[in-house]
């Protein structure tokens, strides 16, 4: 047995080399699993390393290497379970591939977002996955790209420039949802919640298209904007109920506004699914057990996150490849609310 000196400071590759009676090059090669080293020697080195409590210092290795296995993930709104599920999907996939995640929550603050992006750059993130905060200027894309750090933009497009993107086909989703309500006989269909922006505009466009396909014109009074939160949906629904002639159903900007709407309807004693129909958008897991369970346009948030991570991995291995793009295909999930 090699002697096992009690070390004050953390053991380094040099300590392992000494204890194992080999050179530090050898130790380094063993730790990297190089085939250059005889298995017998490698086993000995690993054993000694474990016995003296050696811990690989990945940051030192990566400094030398000019590499990084850290991916920055920037999320705008974790209070919305949609983004949480997206985050979980991203992290799951990245962890599988041996990456580790720098996570930052911007809470829709463009200033904070800028700070964390710079911080991730200083920390040598190998790539950045960004769900942009509301109001993020399209110029941010070029800025980050100029850093030479691979960037995947998620959920919210950022201008017409060229960048890797993972999102969903929003217009076809709301088209599908609205058509479902119209086919069921509804003639007064509201569009509930959300605020202007690329995602909102596409979802609203799908709603309008469905009405047009049924030779109906859209009544602006039925479009009630709000913050994309439960509270927002709750308030927007109150406003919608004041519109005459009465709406009998609504397509919602997203699931949490729909959940807020459910609360508002429940409060008034309206039985959702019978007296009033609600369709959400996102396919958040919570909707399976809301009261009542929510019919929603499912874009599978978890898979969307995994797909975004997949794009990142793809981009990292092919830096020069053409622009990458993932668009989730929406699927209508029928439940009790509509």
Partner DNA sequence: CTGAAAGCGCTTACAG
Q: Nearest distance from residue 205's CB to a copy of itself, in Å? A: 28
Burial 106-142 (b: 16+ CB within 10 A, else e): bebebebbeebbeebeeebbbbbbbbbbbebeeebbe
**DSSP string covering 124-186:** T-SEEEE-PPTT--THHHHHHHHTT--EEEESS--SSS--EEEEE-HHHHHHHHHHHHHHTT-
Which residue, 30 or 262, is less far from DNA as judged by CB?
A: 30
Angle at 157 between CA 223 and CA 193, to 5 degrees: 20
Compute the least distance from the CB of residue 101 to DNA, in Å: 22
Other Cβ atoms less than 10 A from the Cβ of 88: the count is 15
Interface residue with a copy of itself, options 12, 41, 51, 124 (CB under 8 A) = 124
Q: Which of 4, 288, 321, 334 binds a copy of itself (CB under 8 A)?
A: 288
> What are the DSSP calls for 279-295, one per residue?
EEEE--GGGGGSSSPPE
Q: Which of residues 309-338 bind a copy of itself (CB under 8 A)?
A: 336
Closest of 146, 141, 177 to residue 159, by C-alpha: 141
Spell out the long-range contacts of 31-36 with Cβ–Cβ below 8 A and sequence spacing 24 or more.
31/56
Q: Give dist(CA 120, CA 139) in Å, integer.
A: 18
| Residue 199: exposure state from Cβ atoms within 10 A (0-12, 13-18, ≥19) | buried
- Closest separation between CB of residue 109 and a copy of itself, Å? 11
* Segment near a copy of itself (CB under 8 A); pick from 42-50, 116-124, 184-192, 313-321: 116-124
Q: Answer yes or no whether residue 81 interacts with a copy of itself by CB under 8 A.
A: yes
Residue 87 contacts a copy of itself per CB under 8 A: yes
* Interface pick for DNA out of 7, 36, 95, 213 (rule CB under 7 A): 36
From the list 132, 80, 124, the residue with the least C-alpha distance to 100 is: 124
Shortest distance (Å) from residue 69 CB to a copy of itself: 8
Site string for a copy of itself, 39-58 (x = CB under 8 A): ----------------xxxx
Mark the segment that binds a copy of itself (CB under 8 A) among 73-81, 171-179, 206-214, 308-316: 73-81
Of the ranges 92-100, 179-187, 217-225, 309-317, which one interacts with a copy of itself (CB under 8 A)? 92-100
> Does the protein bind a copy of itself through residue 196 (CB under 8 A)?
no
| Among 2, 12, 172, 336, interactor with DNA by CB under 7 A | 12
Binding status of residue 52 toward DNA by CB under 7 A: no
Which residues are registered as beta bridge partners of 129?
A: 73, 152
Burial 291-328 (b: 16+ CB within 10 A, else e): ebbbbbbbbbbbbbbbbbbbbbbebbeeeeeeebebeb
Nearest to 129 by CA among 84, 96, 91: 91
Residue 44 binds what, of DNA, a copy of itself, none (CB under 5 to 8 Å, by partner type)?
Answer: none
- The window from 8-16, 146-154, 171-179, 262-270 that contacts DNA (CB under 7 A) reads 8-16
Binding site for DNA (CB under 7 A): 9-10, 12-14, 22-26, 28-29, 31-32, 36-38, 40-41, 55-57, 60-61, 63-66
Binding site for a copy of itself (CB under 8 A): 10, 55-60, 62-63, 70, 73, 78-79, 81, 84-85, 87-88, 91-92, 95, 100-105, 107, 112, 115-116, 119-124, 147-148, 230-231, 233-234, 259-260, 262-263, 265-267, 285-286, 288-293, 336
């Amino acid at each position: 047995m090699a002697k096992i000196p009690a070390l004050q400071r953390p053991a380094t590759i040099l300590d392992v080399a000494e204890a194992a009676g080999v050179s530090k090059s050898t130790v380094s090669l063993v730790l990297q699993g190089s085939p250059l080293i005889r298995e017998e020697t490698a086993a000995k080195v690993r054993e000694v390393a474990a016995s003296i409590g050696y811990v690989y210092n990945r940051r030192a290795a990566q400094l030398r290497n000019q590499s990084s296995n850290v991916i920055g993930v920037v999320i705008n709104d974790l209070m919305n379970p949609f983004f949480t599920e997206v985050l979980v999907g991203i992290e799951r996939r990245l962890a599988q591939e041996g990456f580790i995640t720098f996570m930052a929550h911007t809470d829709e603050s463009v200033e904070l977002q800028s700070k964390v992006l710079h911080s991730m750059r200083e920390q040598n993130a190998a790539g950045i996955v960004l769900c942009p905060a509301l109001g993020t200027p399209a110029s941010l894309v070029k800025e980050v790209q100029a850093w030479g750090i691979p960037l995947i933009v998620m959920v919210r497009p950022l201008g017409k420039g060229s960048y890797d993107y993972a999102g969903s086909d929003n217009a076809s989703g709301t088209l599908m949802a609205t058509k479902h309500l119209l086919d069921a006989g509804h003639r007064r269909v509201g569009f509930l919640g959300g605020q202007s922006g690329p995602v909102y505009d596409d979802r609203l466009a799908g709603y309008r298209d469905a009405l047009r396909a049924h030779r109906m014109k859209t009544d602006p009074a039925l479009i009630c904007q709000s913050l994309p939160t439960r509270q927002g949906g709750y308030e927007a629904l109150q406003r919608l109920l004041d519109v005459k002639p009465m709406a009998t159903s609504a397509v919602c900007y997203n699931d949490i506004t729909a959940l807020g709407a459910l609360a508002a309807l429940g409060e008034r004693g309206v039985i959702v699914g019978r007296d009033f129909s609600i369709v959400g958008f996102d396919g958040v897991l919570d909707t399976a057990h809301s009261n009542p369970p929510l019919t929603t346009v499912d874009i599978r948030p978890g898979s969307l996150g995994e797909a975004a991570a997949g794009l990142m991995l793809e981009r990292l291995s092919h830096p020069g490849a053409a622009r990458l793009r993932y668009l989730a295909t929406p699927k209508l999930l029928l439940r009790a609310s509509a």
